[in-house]
Structure 1
Amino acid sequence: MQNPDIHPDTKPTNSPTLTHLDRQGQAQMVDVSTKQTSDRQATATGSVSMQAKTLAAIQSGNAPKGDVIGTARLAGIMAAKQTALLIPLCHPLPLKKIEVTIEPDDELPGYQIYATVKTKSETGVEMEALTAVSVAALTLYDMAKALEKSMCIRDIHLVEKIGGKSGHWQAASPTPA
């Protein structure tokens, strides 16, 4: 529903500029055609926690669906390449490198997932890295759900981005609990 106090062709003067909305408040893809092409990289992480016996079964190769980690890693790579089809206002990008690693973590217990994505383009690859981690985690869950349905996907977040107008950004280290 439209605010009757605001004319549809006018942006309120006291609100910040929203780059993904047109003058009528409709979602739009941002025009990046005038931006400088540069090397860009983003790294994201997340985890899947589970019972110790589930972790042991996956590590020993005893999951009913087969290679849990290999399948999850490939799913993450494929997902990064499909981000523009999944997230409505993301630009399709020429990805130059996608690296997904999935490491066992006995402390969780479970797995830590990392994705690093690189491109040379006018816009960044943060969403591609986050999508890779998300889909790798979902695939890990799917591949191991016959062993345990109470697994938990947690803490998916951006760790670092390099390049573009805003330069280098790195997440603050989490404080120990």
Structure 2
Amino acid sequence: MLIMKIKYFGLLIRLFLFKIKYAKRVKLNSIKVGFEKGVTFIIRGKKSIVSLGKNIYLMRNGNLEVYDGGLLEIGNNVSINKNFSIVSRNKITIGNNVSIGPNCCIYDHDHDFSNKDLLIQKQGYNSKEIFIGNNVWIASNVFIGKGVKISNGAIVASGSIVVNDVDENTVVGGNPAKFLKKRFC
């Protein structure tokens, strides 16, 4: 029991210091936000914001990054497994009751490479909003790219590369992710 209280107290201190560091750029809607060791938050740009709902759990060795006035919104009752990478330069919305498996990447941007006379590293980014609805399960080793909408009740199979929208209550999988079946007949 004492160990549980010490761990909880340690979590409160980490959340308090986290809130001080990022001040108005992080919105915590609950004290029930847990993150394990190795979770990194990078928030660059005065207008960049991270908003975390209630009952969020971020497992070890993951990163949440927001740049250039981007917005990352995570709803209530969300669990994100270890080794995740979520990076926003535009807007990423993750709904309520979402489970994200280990080793998943969610990026709302990619590199611009349209100018042949300029190094790719100097050309900036192309970005489009990502929306993940409610009651969604994203299995392990999934990549979700810019501009994708994953509708309510969807399931994304392990190892999928999602570059197109996913319909409500469907199961998708593959590279690129394609319709596999409806969840309910």
Smaller-chain TM-score bracket: under 0.3
Give the strand-richer structure, 1 or 2.
2
TM-score w.r.t. the length of structure 1 is: 0.24
Give the helix-richer structure, 1 or 2.
1
Higher RCO structure, 1 or 2 (CA under 8 Å, sep 6+) = 1
Bigger Cα Rg? 1
